[in-house]
Homo-oligomer: A and B are copies of this chain.
């Protein structure tokens, strides 16, 4: 039973489940502590505030995702000393994110990322994006090397577009099912390939004119 794990772990599990199902604001601490069989005050004791609990839930999934991005990029660098291809770098960036989005509790968790990224709470947003510092520092130069004709701002902007497409795909593809009248299914396994194709073509377009740096 749940009571075998520690209180803070049970709180994290319960919070993740409820946040993903209902959203941050809509989930009360009382609902979380009831599901975790803990006292209301335990949240503030272990995590300081509801805000702190949200950050802890996010970090528990962000860190493995970004760690795998970095280890994939390390493997690529080892394989290709002259620098990996654009497509390979984009795959190293996108595949670990998709892997989370497709897991058993996948999509809801990724929805949490999207919500945190656009959260009105500046402190939450700041803590959240700080988790991406290492990824930005490693993937920026890798893309620059794969696409020497593009300027650094070109690359940053395109990655920004790709991130937007990724977020929207993993967190809001239900919308697409409605618009396409069922022709596009959110769990279509080909979606990742479509996104990588799209990202590669889009990013490559930054190198074509490259005027605006």
A3 on the B face (CB < 8 A): no
In the assembled complex, how far is the CB of residue A36 from the closest CB belonging to chain B, in whole angstroms? 20
| Cβ-defined contact, B157 with A168, below 8 A | no
User: Once the chains are docked, how many angstroms separate the CA of A161 from the CA of B176?
Assistant: 10
Contact with B along A127-158 (1 / 0, CB 8 A): 00100100010001000000000001110111
Contact with B along A161-188 (1 / 0, CB 8 A): 1111111110111011011100110000
| Cβ-defined contact, A191 with B25, below 8 A | no
> With A165-B164, A198-B206, A212-B193 in contact, is A119–B152 under 8 Å at CB?
no
Closest residue of chain B to A213, judged by CB?
B183
| Cβ-defined contact, B202 with A22, below 8 A | no
| Cβ-defined contact, A23 with B194, below 8 A | no
User: Once the chains are docked, how many angstroms separate the CA of A101 from the CA of B209?
Assistant: 25
| Cβ-defined contact, B194 with A206, below 8 A | yes
Q: State the oligomeric state as a number of copies.
A: 2
A114 on the B face (CB < 8 A): yes
Q: Which residues of A contact B (CB under 8 A)?
A: 21-26, 111, 114-115, 117-121, 125, 129, 132, 136, 140, 152-154, 156-158, 160-169, 171-173, 175-176, 178-180, 183-184, 190-191, 193-195, 197-206, 208-209, 212
- A-B contact sample (10 more), CB < 8 A, given A153-B183, A161-B198: A21-B120, A25-B120, A26-B120, A26-B121, A114-B118, A117-B168, A140-B179, A156-B176, A167-B168, A168-B168
